[in-house]
């Protein structure tokens, strides 16, 4: 089984351009704000604690999905920022899911989530179905933001959850 790329920040600008071109050619989606705003897929998933969930249950809410792996350095370094982002916006209704890639051993994911006390749902994508449903995600980290109408508002490859993402989340959450 091939492992996806893990995107590191120092080379992010070059890689974003290449990945944007590849993403458009292979999945029809970009890496930034989605012009056509495709609908997010309806996917069933299982959280780390065994609780079943589905993206259809998230309709009407703003949600963020982060595809990551315990073997991805940028993912690991970015997790505190993702946790802070969740803590900042969850009181306003943001739902956050961290989807561990198919090749990531569940025991490693569980240990990481518990030791870092991740404040959001962690999904074990042991079949790869969640990654496939979201456009065959193969590059980590990949972050997707979905608006209240279930439309993909942002698809971003690489670490970093800076002011642009905060502004987008704030705007989407204000559109109650």
For the residues of 151-170, what is the DSSP string, one character each?
BEEEEEESS---HHHHHHHH
With beta carbons less than 8 A apart as the criterion, state whether 62 and 146 touch. yes
* pLDDT score at 18: 39
* pLDDT score at 5: 59
What is the per-residue pLDDT across 96-141, written as a single tens digit (0 to 9) for each? 999 999 999 999 999 999 999 999 999 999 999 999 999 999 999 9
Identify the CATH assignment for 9-174 out of 3.90.220.20, 3.30.70.1230, 2.60.120.10, 3.40.30.10.
3.40.30.10
The pTM score is 0.81
Which residue is associated with the tokens 């990654």?
131
Sketch the domain layout of the chain as residue ranges: 9-174
Q: What are phi and psi of 69, to 5 degrees?
A: -150, 150
Residues of the chain with pLDDT under 70: 1-36
Q: Quickly list DSSP for 125-153.
A: -TTSHHHHHTT---SBSEEEEE-TTSBEE
């Amino acid at each position: 089984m091939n492992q996806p790329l893990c995107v590191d920040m120092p080379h992010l600008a070059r890689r974003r351009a290449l990945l944007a071109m590849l993403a458009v050619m292979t999945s029809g989606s970009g890496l930034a704000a989605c012009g056509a705003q495709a609908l997010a897929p309806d996917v069933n998933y299982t959280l780390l604690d065994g609780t079943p969930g589905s993206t259809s249950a998230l309709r009407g809410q703003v949600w963020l999905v982060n595809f990551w792996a315990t073997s991805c350095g940028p993912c690991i370094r970015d997790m505190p920022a993702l946790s802070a982002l969740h803590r900042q916006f969850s009181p306003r209704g943001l739902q956050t899911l961290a989807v561990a890639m198919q090749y990531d051993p569940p025991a490693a994911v569980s240990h990481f989530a518990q030791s870092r006390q991740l404040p959001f749902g962690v999904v074990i994508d042991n079949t790869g179905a969640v990654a496939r449903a979201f456009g065959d995600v193969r590059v980590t980290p990949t972050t997707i933001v979905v608006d209240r109408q279930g439309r993909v508002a942002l698809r971003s490859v690489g670490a970093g959850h800076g002011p642009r993402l905060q502004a987008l989340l704030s705007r989407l959450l204000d559109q109650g």
